[in-house]
Structure 1
Amino acid sequence: MADGQNRLVQVSDLRLNVTEWGGADNPPLILLHGLASSSHMFDLVAPELAADYHVIAFDQRGHGLSDKPTTGYDFETVASDLDKLVEVLGLADKPFHLAGHSWGASTALYYAATRPERVQKVILIDGGLRPVTEGFKSVEEMAPPQHQNWPIADVKHMIREDWFGWAYRPELEALALSIYDLSNPNDVQPYLKLAQHMQIAQALWDFRAADYFSRVHAPVLAVLGIERGETPSASLQEYVAAAQTSLKQFEVFWMPETIHDIPWHRPHELVTIMRNFLES
């Protein structure tokens, strides 16, 4: 993590793996990763943002090097984790910017709606608006593939061919591997266990962003990726229109020719977009 200060932070009965960039006197910007990901999602954007912001990214409960309790993966408990973290970091009386990717975007929106006084601006990176029910027939379909005796060579092949495909760059491999426990190279497993994964999947299945729009006071930016050769679906455009109608201040930036993991695929452009919004 370039220039980041990494440590385990005790947050009530939970230890969270936290990395900070930039000066503590800078405006705080907290970054929330997605389901089955890790704080490494922001390795390529945080150092650039650190010139002007106190950037904070952490492995959410169950993920990465943070503790992995068996329960507590609903939105309110996850939001409470963030409450406790900002208190430990000395930010309890200091409103902050909040950005999230994928599930992290949904969490950011939930947090901004339920704690409006704490959030200055919100950035939703390819998530947070459209219900997952649009892409899956059941919550069971959201289960990740299960592997036994999965050798690291096969994991790397999957990352190269299936995960990134046309967007692959060699430096992305190590970032993608960060979501896995590599202690046994002949049996690689994700840090997030299946039972916890499915608790988050259920929370996402039940989540409707529109239920929270009226309670969000902060300006919101959605950065939405468009896969190569595709156009935004009619349903996604409908949810964007609903956000434009219901949120007090809402902007959308469509990023063509990108994959879901925008912070890895298009980090420099994402930083520019984020800066323009945060500084406006």
Structure 2
Amino acid sequence: MTESPLARIALSTGISLDVCLAGPRDGEPILFLHGFPESHRTWRNQIEDLSRDHFVIAPDQRGYARSDKPEGVEQYKTNIIVADALALMDALEIKHFTLVGHDWGGAAAWAAALLHPFRVKRLVILNAPHPLIFQRSLIEDRAQREASQYVRFFRSPEAEAGILAMGLEAFLEKVLLGNADPAMLPVEERRAYLDEWKEPGALTAMLNWYRATSLEVPETDEEARLPVWTHAPFPKLRMPTLVIWGLKDVALLPIQLERLTDVVADLRIVTSPTAGHFIPWEEPGTVTAAIRNFLADSGG
């Protein structure tokens, strides 16, 4: 990836983010939101390709890398993360845009599309479950509940100490390389992530994304009922939506693709039987081609 200098952009939400800006300013805008425990770098291959003819915006989200890290779990609630994304586009004077999200960035993207459907022109989701389908599966599907027990650890007060005792290099091996093809994460990218995680307050800030969510993750054998909100009518997304999924994801199982047509009116799904959770860089060609095809089909 050809490194683009990061712009420091102050937001109306009271924080500043480092943001990768690439491509022609008059090009069709695409906002990329990364997940845990990464940064804008997860999109390095897509940025390089799509910035040839699109205006690409890829922030290091709050709590990550060298972007601001406000203290307190409440600072990482989903509505605040969504507000950052909209404030960033406001700062760039962009009204409508294609929104792409992976992992926690995908969770924020789902929420942004639900809360601001007239600003999100198109939605692209990579290995990030729809909130209603995910919550239902955590209660009703034993395999998904078992696969999500790591969330309980990341939420715990002992998580930072446990990760530091393990060592950041071992954490990288377990979380990134253990869930993807290690050959697809070059040494320089590994070093970059380790450097970002060593930023003061970064580890706690990243974990606070897990602690701030209202998602209920019961213990494997715990008796649990669906939260009340899952029984209420849920809005159906109307903008063109593409879901890209690595089927070897051991944390987010293929059940997350079931019943998506109940919550998305205009849906396309692209799956890879050989990619895992970190599909943006594990199979960059698959992802970039899928996004390009989707943009072409939907007028972008």
Tell me the TM-score normalized by structure 1: 0.82
Tell me the equivalent position of 1:172.
186
Match of 1:85 in 2: 88
Task: Give the distance between the partners of 1:98 and 1:246, measured in 2 at CA.
Answer: 17
Cα distance in structure 2, aligned partners of 1:168 and 1:224: 18
Once residues 234 and 200 of structure 2 are traced to their aligned partners in structure 1, the CA distance between those partners, rounded to angstroms, is 33
Contact 1:32 1:99 in 2 (8 A): yes
Map of 1:181 onto structure 2:
195
- Structure 2: stretches of 5+ with no match in the other structure: 139-144, 218-226
Change (3 A) 1:101 1:170: closer
8 Å Cα contact 1:180/1:189 also seen in 2 = no
Residue in 2 aligned with 1:266? 283
* Identical positions, percent: 22
Which protein is richer in helix relative to its size? 2
Partner of residue 74, structure 1: 77
Taking the aligned partners of 1:6 and 1:59, their CA distance within structure 2 comes to: 9
Distance in 2, matches of 1:251 and 1:179, equals: 32
Aligned to 2:60: 59
Query: Could you give the per-residue CA deviations for residues 56-104 of structure 1, whole angstroms, max 9, x where no partner exists?
Result: 100110111100001311111111111211111111x3x1000000111
Following superposition, the deviation at residue 180 of structure 1 comes to 3.1
Structure-2 change in CA distance of 1:182 and 1:141 (3 Å): closer
Aligned pairs (5 A) from 1:132-147: 133=138, 134=145, 135-137=147-149, 139-143=151-155, 145-147=162-164
- 1:222 maps to which residue? 243
Preserved CA contact (<8 Å) 2:236 2:262: no
What is the Cα deviation at residue 197 of structure 1?
1.2
Conserved 8 A contact 1:213-1:247: no
Q: 1:212 to 1:68 in 2, by over 3 A?
A: farther
| 1:182–1:242 Cα change, 3 Å | closer
Equivalences, count: 265
Unaligned runs of 5+ in 1: none
The separation in 2 between residues aligned to 1:102 and 1:162, in whole angstroms, is 13
Partner of 1:277: 294
SS of corresponding position for 1:8? strand
CA 1:241–1:160 in 2, change beyond 3 Å: closer, same or farther?
closer
Trace 1:221-260 onto structure 2 (pairs within 5 A). 221-227=242-248, 233=253, 236-237=254-255, 239-260=256-277
Please report how far the alpha carbon of residue 32 of structure 1 lies from its aligned counterpart in structure 2 after TM superposition.
0.3
TM-fit CA distance, 1:109: 0.7
Q: CA RMSD in A?
A: 3.1
The offset of 1:212, in angstroms, is: 9.0
| The 10-residue stretch of structure 1 (29-38 or 194-203) with the greater mean CA deviation from structure 2 | 194-203
Alignment-derived partner of residue 108 in structure 1: 109
Q: Give TM-score scaled by structure 2 length.
A: 0.77
